[in-house]
Structure 1
Amino acid sequence: MPRKPKIKPPTPQSRRVGYAIVGLGELSVEELIPAARTSKESYVAALVTSELDKGVEFARALGLKDSDVYTYDDFEHLSGRDDVEAVYIVLPNSLHREFITRAAKMGKHIVSEKPLGMNAKDAQKIVDVCKKAGVLLMTAYRCQYSPHHWAARDAVQGGTLGRVKLLDSMHVQVEDDPTVWRLQQELAGGGPLPDVGIYSLNTLRFVTGQEPEWVFATLHQPKKDRRFREVEESVSFMLGFPEGVTANCHTSYGAFKTDTLRVMGDAGTLLMDPAFTYEGLKLSIETKEGTMTPSFPAYDQFGLEFDHFAQRVRDGKTPWTPGEEAVQDHVIMDAIYESAKTGKVVKLKSVTKKDAFRGTKPTLPSEKS
């Protein structure tokens, strides 16, 4: 009988990295906390919330003490917690800089949900604050820690598709609650583009390893729909990559949920559908030899993200998706909004280095044999 593969046991809690989860919304409760509980290198040590009773309820369910729960006003009390080495910011976009700054002053390392800030200028200030404080900053681009996305990247960059010519990505969903913070310009900084459209933008940059040279965009903001009084309903944009490679992207808060990624080369094509969901990703690669559908052992995107950052906290190396990676997305999104406003192509600063804004590569689960 073949031997069963050895499963690496979790690192003892005394050597794992303790996180404080800042913000107990849907993402934290349904995805982050469960992922951290099954993590090999990380664990939840504290919770920070605007609703103390809610926080205490979750803390007790997690086996934490009532004293492990803090309000936003008490955030600085974490400075005396040596077991809290990192914080994970899960707040409206407009609050990222405030809480990252407060965490950095306490000497805590920081993971922040995307987008990092409200625009490129705001995001750069966040990066500068963390550098000055000497703490690590990672943007939570979970797709860059997914084996499926890395397999797509390998196919694109490894020549499986031949010379890449065209890319296409769509991420749309219906946002039907007019009261959510994502539809408020002062809290979100924009509509679907910085929320779900950023997945297309960031993933295209990731799979190619290149940066666009120009953008062209249009947006739609219906006047009679009260959901979109402050932000756009949809954005369509083109990205021009080196050597004439072009990408088309669409994002919206007004269309039924769809998330896809397609890459077309002169010798093959690649499709991810769905491409950006938390689980159930599907990848197919078609060439003249036939169709390949890579599969992987079960994994949790957020768990991989947690553990990558924990490893960087331990070795002090730059995480794969540092703040600079987010700043570049903001630079491009700012250009997209400018193009949509002016109706003109907006040229971007030339970046020739591959993976120019990324750090240490993550360790990923292997593909199934």
Structure 2
Amino acid sequence: MKQIDHLVKLMLDTPSEAGVSRKEFLSFAGRSLAVGVAGGLAASCKTGQNTMSSSGGTYSSSGSANVPKLPAESPPAKIPQKVDEPIKLEAWKAKTEVESGPTPSPTPPDQRVGYAIVGLGHLTLDELLPAFGECKKSKIVALVSGSREKMQKVAKQYGIKEQSCYTYDQYDRLKDNPEVQAIYIVLPNGMHAEYTIRGAQAGKHILCEKPMANTSAECQAMIDACRKADRKLMVAYRIQYEPNNRMIRDMIQSKRFGATKFIEAFNVQNSANPQHWRHIKALAGGGALPDIGLYCLNTVRYLLGEEPNEVFGYQYSTPGDPRFKEVEEMVSWQMRFPSGVIANCGTNYGVHETRRYRAMAERGWMGLDPAFAYSGLQPQVSYAEGKVEHKEQPKISEKNQFASEIDHFSECVTQNKTPFTPGEEGLQDHKIMEAIYQSAREGRPVKLTAVNKKDAFRGTEPEMQ
């Protein structure tokens, strides 16, 4: 160690006279330190002690120490009695930093709601099955598919029992599986009504992808079947469970920038396969409007908490395009609301992807661009103060939208709550879409039944964490 001290002195005081480069010094010092530590450990072993020295004091395994004993953790955490309530840790960030969310508080696996997923297409494989890994109150326990080979592969990937895999012909046997409490229907739109009704008759709660069905009559039949079976029915409107959309809704309804006067919302994309079920009317019910235009329609209703009393629509499809033999390519429409707000919306199956909305108020505007996507949502706000124009991008940490909506439904099942987006919410959207199609056919505005109650068709507000 004296050699190291000597070298340090030379390097610091007279580097030019030492004749030792910095690289040589570091190499030699490392070797010397290793030898010194090894020798010290050997000496300690001879005395039966393990001693480590530092500038703060000495600790010995025999129990003697000249440094204060430090607690193993920060101040005690608050641990609630209920297992699914978050543990509350002490605050550590300054108030200038983004606030952390609550600690994860998953329900024990044996107490989570068990789901059977019906349909193993793009949405299920790409989004829903991975989302269950982020769920805290839900688990996947069964599969239903028309392809047994695909189903068996997916079952192995996600640890699902072979006896809990069913073909469509075996769907009704779900009633005999006690692990299945809820069914998530992810089929083409034209099949939603049949499988919802049969699922309710099998005694299971139903979470159904949007659009709810092909017609408002089918929606009503689904609601009636679930009510008769005393089962819950929820439509998977994931936007209404996403925190950044809720932030914009709060800005609008609190009139942060005064009264909102005008909203524009667009959801467009370019489809390619004419044989895909989305281009077959019997399976899809329609084209761009019920598939992606529905996001504009439902989100505007959610943001305002109002129901439109009039719509005016226009529809167009490129002549000769094989994609649009049965369903429409484009729909644009306006909705008039009792408060005086006008919403201008558009959807298209034949242009490059754009997903956005903006609400324009008296003293500023707010919205998302992109909006409606599974991830990467970006809120935007603009307002003026004196001579300064502010443009902000406030953003709440994103959560998996599918996991959020699934866990909300599970909470409704276990706590006997009405889902925030029940069947009645889906039915209302179909009534409005049917009026838009009617307006496009007839070339005139179409009046809607007046609904004066705020959030008239919604159930229990989900908690945002």
Matched, 1:304 2:400: no
Shift of 1:297: 2.7
Matched, 1:259 2:359: no
1:236 is matched by which residue type in structure 2? S
Distance, in Å, in 1 between the alignment partners of 2:455 and 2:367 is 22
> Do the aligned partners of 2:375 and 2:398 also contact (CA within 8 Å) in 1?
no
Q: Which stretch of the first structure deviates more once superposed, 181-190 or 4-13?
A: 4-13
Write out aligned runs for 1:99-118 (5 A). Answer: 99-118=195-214
Could you tell me which residue of structure 1 aligns to residue 459 of structure 2? 359
2:461 is matched by which residue type in structure 1? K
Matched, 1:161 2:257: yes
Residue identity over aligned pairs, in percent, reads: 45
Could you tell me which residue of structure 2 aligns to residue 249 of structure 1? 345
Could you tell me which residue of structure 1 aligns to residue 176 of structure 2? 80
Distance, in Å, in 2 between the alignment partners of 1:190 and 1:155 is 33
Shift of 1:292: 3.6
> Do the aligned partners of 1:37 and 1:44 also contact (CA within 8 Å) in 2?
no
Could you tell me which residue of structure 2 aligns to residue 200 of structure 1? 296
> Do the aligned partners of 1:215 and 1:336 also contact (CA within 8 Å) in 2?
yes
Matched, 1:314 2:414: yes
Choose from 135, 139, 143 the match for 2:235. Answer: 139
1:250 is matched by which residue type in structure 2? G
1:35 is matched by which residue type in structure 2? A
2:463 is matched by which residue type in structure 1? T
Distance, in Å, in 2 between the alignment partners of 1:359 and 1:143 is 15
> Do the aligned partners of 2:314 and 2:443 also contact (CA within 8 Å) in 1?
yes
Matched, 1:328 2:328: no
Number of residue pairs matched?
A: 365
Shift of 1:83: 1.3
Could you tell me which residue of structure 1 aligns to residue 277 of structure 2? 181
Choose from 215, 221, 244 the match for 2:317. Answer: 221
Shift of 1:317: 1.1
Secondary structure of residue in 2 paired with 1:288: strand
Choose from 42, 46, 54 the match for 2:150. Answer: 54
What runs of 5+ residues in structure 1 fail to find an aligned partner?
none
Deviations 1:317-349 (A, max 9, x none): 100000000000000000000000000100000
Choose from 267, 282, 294 the match for 2:394. Answer: 294
> Which has the higher Rg, Structure 1 or Structure 2?
2
Secondary structure of residue in 1 paired with 2:313: strand
| TM-score normalised per structure 2 | 0.77
Q: Which stretch of the first structure deviates more once superposed, 240-249 or 205-214?
A: 240-249
Distance, in Å, in 1 between the alignment partners of 2:248 and 2:147 is 41
Could you tell me which residue of structure 2 aligns to residue 280 of structure 1? 376
Shift of 1:174: 0.6
> Do the aligned partners of 2:330 and 2:348 also contact (CA within 8 Å) in 1?
yes
Could you tell me which residue of structure 2 aligns to residue 338 of structure 1? 438
Q: Which stretch of the first structure deviates more once superposed, 227-236 or 8-17?
A: 8-17
Distance, in Å, in 1 between the alignment partners of 2:223 and 2:383 is 42
Could you tell me which residue of structure 1 aligns to residue 186 of structure 2? 90
Shift of 1:67: 1.4
Secondary structure of residue in 2 paired with 1:14: helix
Distance, in Å, in 2 between the alignment partners of 1:266 and 1:340 is 31
Secondary structure of residue in 1 paired with 2:370: coil
Q: RMSD of aligned C-alpha atoms? A: 1.2
Could you tell me which residue of structure 1 aligns to residue 28 of structure 2? none
Distance, in Å, in 1 between the alignment partners of 2:427 and 2:280 is 22
Could you tell me which residue of structure 2 aligns to residue 129 of structure 1? 225
Higher relative contact order (Cα pairs below 8 Å, separated by 6+ residues): 1
Q: Which stretch of the first structure deviates more once superposed, 205-214 or 217-226?
A: 217-226
Distance, in Å, in 2 between the alignment partners of 1:73 and 1:294 is 49
1:63 is matched by which residue type in structure 2? G
Shift of 1:352: 0.5
Distance, in Å, in 2 between the alignment partners of 1:243 and 1:305 is 29
| TM-score normalised per structure 1 | 0.97
Could you tell me which residue of structure 1 aligns to residue 43 of structure 2? none
Distance, in Å, in 1 between the alignment partners of 2:271 and 2:104 is 41
Matched, 1:19 2:115: yes
2:222 is matched by which residue type in structure 1? I
Matched, 1:232 2:293: no
